[in-house]
A = this chain, B = another copy of it.
Amino acid sequence: MSKITMKEIAKLANVSQPTVSRIINGNGDVNDEMAKRVRKVIEDVGYIPNKAAQTLKRSQSHIIGVCVTQMYNPYFVDLIDALEQKLHEMGYSIILHNSRHNPITEWENIQNFMARQVDGIIIVPTGTNNLSRISKLRIPTVVITQNNKYFDSVGINYMQAGRIAGQYFINGGHHKFGFIGHFPDEKFSGFESILYENNYKFEQKNYIKLDVSSTNNFLIRQDIEKYFNQIEHIDFTCAITTNDIAAIEFMRAAQERNIKIPGDISLIGFDDTLLSKILGITSIHQPIEKMVETTVEILWNRIDDKISSDLIHLQLEPTLVERTSSMRKKK
């Protein structure tokens, strides 16, 4: 069955094809009786306008390209889900791509977005590899979950997140601190700075370094095991992790070594995903709803060319959600 076109609707209703267009889009006044007749035909045959043709004509697709670096961490999934919902409400669709931390795939995805005439791009970049190329495309783009110099960006105040966690530990009476994550990391800088301000020092040997490409449980676990195997004993009583997955894997690795959490080590995760909720891990919450809302708003304004060309860099405030993983036995 070949698809039905506007022209055929016109013929069935004995009107011209542009008249049908007017009725559908509400442009220009149309005779009521005529409109009613046309609408009935549309209803009867289940006609749906061809958006490829509309895109071609209007040069806007009402599609937003979304490209993330992974879907393993539930945090990104929450993000995608919220984006889909918000954009759906606004009459937009999303084309979803996953770069899997691969810059080459990322560039393919961007090219595809361009070919598809997307109205805008929301991206979690793999790094800085493609950024200059993307900016040359002059397509409205917002970087999300990261702060970025070259594009509008919506993230959270990672520095502050690190500080909140650090302050929490200091208040809890800790003075030996650990960090589990990639390098470099703004969270870590914030963490280190608040320690410094309180006359504590972060010892480099307590930095459990994860590989950049360690995105799933297994790989992160390997990195952690490696750490455990090369040290004699753990020299910190509290630690923050770069995300909830790392927190979980650290917790499991610790359990196997009879290290109690929070008894021996007080732990704070990151992202406040369902993982931390389920396992009772204290975690830094990111306001996903708000991030998505502002991201879409910025993009919307850029598409409409309504705002000045000054880039916007939004840093939302993180909050700490306390759960059992960080609670010391005696207070």
Contacts of A49 in B (CB 8 A): 115
| CA of A114 to CA of B137, assembled, Å | 29
| CA of A96 to CA of B98, assembled, Å | 12
- In the assembled complex, A311 has its CB within 8 A of some CB on chain B: no
How many residues belonging to A are interface residues under a CB distance threshold of 8 Å? 51
Query: A52 and B48: CB pair below 8 A?
Result: no
Near B by CB (< 8 A), chain A positions 100-147 give 100, 105, 108-109, 111-112, 114-117, 136-138
| CA of A74 to CA of B116, assembled, Å | 29
Closest CB-CB distance, A216 to chain B, in whole Å? Answer: 8
**For the complex formed by this chain, how many copies does it contain in all?**
2
| CA of A61 to CA of B105, assembled, Å | 21
Interface string of A47-63 (1 = CB under 8 A from B): 01111110110010101
Give the residue name and chain of the B residue nearest to A92 (CB).
B112
The answer, among B61, B77, B136, B248, for a CB contact under 8 Å with A71, is: B77
Closest CB-CB distance, A274 to chain B, in whole Å? Answer: 7
- In the assembled complex, A282 has its CB within 8 A of some CB on chain B: no
Contacts of A72 in B (CB 8 A): 81, 274
| Given known contacts A50-B56, A274-B217, A278-B217, A98 and B85 CB-to-CB distance under 8 angstroms | yes
The answer, among B2, B96, B275, for a CB contact under 8 Å with A84, is: B96
Closest CB-CB distance, A272 to chain B, in whole Å? Answer: 13
Query: A93 and B112: CB pair below 8 A?
Result: yes
The answer, among B1, B98, B275, for a CB contact under 8 Å with A278, is: B275
Contacts of A136 in B (CB 8 A): 46
Contacts of A84 in B (CB 8 A): 96-98
Closest CB-CB distance, A187 to chain B, in whole Å? Answer: 22
- In the assembled complex, A94 has its CB within 8 A of some CB on chain B: yes
| CA of A71 to CA of B79, assembled, Å | 11
| CA of A71 to CA of B138, assembled, Å | 32
Closest CB-CB distance, A299 to chain B, in whole Å? Answer: 17
| CA of A100 to CA of B117, assembled, Å | 28
The answer, among B74, B112, B217, for a CB contact under 8 Å with A277, is: B217
The answer, among B74, B96, B100, for a CB contact under 8 Å with A74, is: B74
Contacts of A48 in B (CB 8 A): 111, 114-115
Near B by CB (< 8 A), chain A positions 273-293 give 274-275, 277-279
- In the assembled complex, A303 has its CB within 8 A of some CB on chain B: no
| CA of A279 to CA of B280, assembled, Å | 12
| CA of A211 to CA of B126, assembled, Å | 40
Query: B114 and A98: CB pair below 8 A?
Result: no
Residues of A within 8 A of B (CB): 1-3, 46, 48-53, 55-56, 59, 61, 63, 71-72, 74, 77, 80-81, 84-85, 88, 93-98, 100, 105, 108-109, 111-112, 114-117, 136-138, 217, 248, 252, 274-275, 277-279
Q: Given A50-B115, A217-B277, 17 more contacts at CB 8 Å?
A: A3-B59, A50-B56, A50-B117, A52-B55, A52-B56, A52-B117, A74-B74, A84-B97, A85-B98, A88-B105, A88-B108, A88-B109, A93-B116, A217-B274, A252-B278, A275-B278, A279-B279
